[in-house]
Structure formats: structure tokens, C-alpha cells
Amino acid sequence: MTTPLTQTDIAAGFRATGLGAGDVVLIHSAMRTFGTIDDGARTVVDALLEVLGPTGTLVVPTFTFAHEAEDDPMIEPATDCSEMGIITETARSRPDAMRSIAFRHSVAAMGPRASVITEVDPSLSPFDLRASFGVMLALNTQVLLLGLTYASSTSHHFAEFVCDVPYRQTLPLNVKVRRSSGEIAEQAMTDYQPKSEGGSYYGSRGCDFNRLGKMLEDGDRVGTAFVGNCAVRRFAMRDLVDLARVEAARDYNVFRTADGQPEKTTPLSFGQTVLSPTLVDGAGRPHRVEWCVKDSGKLHMPDEAS
């Protein structure tokens, strides 16, 4: 029988990637990749806060794709559940967490930098340099991938925004927001979406965020460690954006697969990559996730979505 991971085990693994006290960190996470954890997702959040200490700030994505399927969306920051996994929802639900207001790409944060990251103009795209991701870039935020490949890195979408790639666009929206007072107000927002190419988001190409990720790894810009069965990667958002600006100036398709090969993404050398069964997001769209683990045979797979 496998001994459950403790907060001490998990914190030691995070430190092994180079994460440390005082850092601002944005996480993307897949709980199932760790294996058994003593007290579950709460222990992961506590381990992150232990490593960061009182001067560090934890940021989690609390995206809500369900609003895309609504005819008259109502954004409710206090109660909208995160669709980004149980670790992010556990962090969002803590009483000291602050949350930004956004159509899809809200974030929750805890720590001394939480307010400057979350209290941004909701009319801006979250990827605007004056909004949450721009603030995180200025704060030299570290990105931590917990059991995921770069395919799940929203910072890569931010880099696409910074590089102004021609296959994505900003879209103006008018939605309702329930304020903390309970008042309902109309709110202008800005979403960031792919342009449709031939009826699909990427046409004859696919998304390949592993390509830039592999470049960072080859340049020794990524810290790695295994925590239980979970493959953990840490990199600086600033390193990613700086690299993306150089590479996209040569070829803006650096974020995408080769033409005519939408499924052929860049392989990674650290950890074993496992493609999930078909899952369904809050808007009812099927998708698959790249999990990254030490031993694929120890990964408990969910049932296929119907």
C-alpha cells in the first residue's frame, strides 16, 4: 500500500523546482497525477503557502467556461466555481482569497500581491498588460505546472496576446456582474478567442505550447521535480514571454503545430505524457488534457465523457 503524500513531502518537491519564499506563483494543476495525498487538495494548497511564506503570493486560475454557453451570462465572482480542478477551487474557497472579475479568465490570489493582481479593470482583456497577467509579468511571476504539460499553460495564451498573433482576436462583450453587495450591474468585458479557420479554431494546425516549453527546458530555464507520481515544472513567465517575442518575430506559428499535422505536438523529455479520455468543459465542449507523470501505469484514469 502506498503511503499518502504529506504537506512536508509536497513542499519539499516544490522547493526542489526552485520555488521559494517571497515568490509570486501561478499554478496549473491536475490533482489525480500526485497519487494519494493526506487530506487531499487542501494539503497541496497548504504546501504551496508554506513554501511561499508570508511574503509570497499564490495565484490560481478560476476560469468559468460555462458562461460561454449562457444566453445572458451572469458573472458571480463570489460563487462561480472554478473549472480548473479541485486544487484551484480549494484555493478560491479560502476566506483570504481575492478574485478578479472576468468573463472566463478570472484568477484568485492569496498573499501581499493578491489585490494588485485581482483588482484590475474588468473591461480589459485579462491578458492586457494593465490586467491580471500583465501585472503578474511585472511581478516576475513563476508558473508551476503540476502534473500537466505546457498545453495547459495559460501564460502561453498571454504570450500570444503580447506577440499579437494574427489567428486570435479580442472580442468586446456586455455581461451582468453580481457585485459583493448583491447588486447586479452591466459590465463591459473583453474576451480573447481564436479566429475560426475553415470552421475550426486552428484550421489545419493544432496548439503546440510544448514547443516553446521545450526550448525553455533545453535552455535550462525550467526547474523540475517529481512529487509522488506528479511531474512538476517551474518556469518564469518573463522567460516565456521574452522567448516567445523572439521566436514569434521569426514565425508567429511557434505556438502551433506544423501545417497539416494538428495532432503532432512537441514531445517532452521529462516525465511521461498521458492523453486524457475525452472530457467536457462547462460550455459542453469536448476536450482532452495532457497529463505528465513519473509512471503512467500508476495514473488512475477517469471514465470517458458521454
Reply yes or no on whether the pLDDT at 306 is more than 60.
Answer: no
Give domain limits for the chain. Answer: 7-298
CA–CA dist 60, 87 (Å, integer):
9
pLDDT > 80? residue 143: yes
Asked whether the beta carbons of 97 and 91 are under 8 A apart, the reply is: yes
Judged against a pLDDT cut of 90, whether residue 203 lies above it is answered with no
User: For residue range 226-259, what is the model confidence (pLDDT) as tens digits?
Assistant: 999 999 999 999 999 999 999 999 999 999 999 9
Q: Is the dihedral of CA 246, 249, 251, 253 positive or negative?
A: positive
- DSSP string covering 195-209: PPBTTBSSTT--B-T
Going by the DSSP 8-state scheme, the letter that residue 148 receives in this structure is: B
Residue 189 host element (H or E) = strand 184-194
C-beta contacts of 88-93 below 8 A and 24+ residues apart: 88/27, 88/29, 88/60, 88/61, 88/62, 89/41, 89/62, 90/41, 90/42, 90/44, 90/45, 91/45, 91/58, 91/60, 92/60, 92/62
- Among 17-31, 213-227, 282-296, whose mean pLDDT is lowest? 282-296
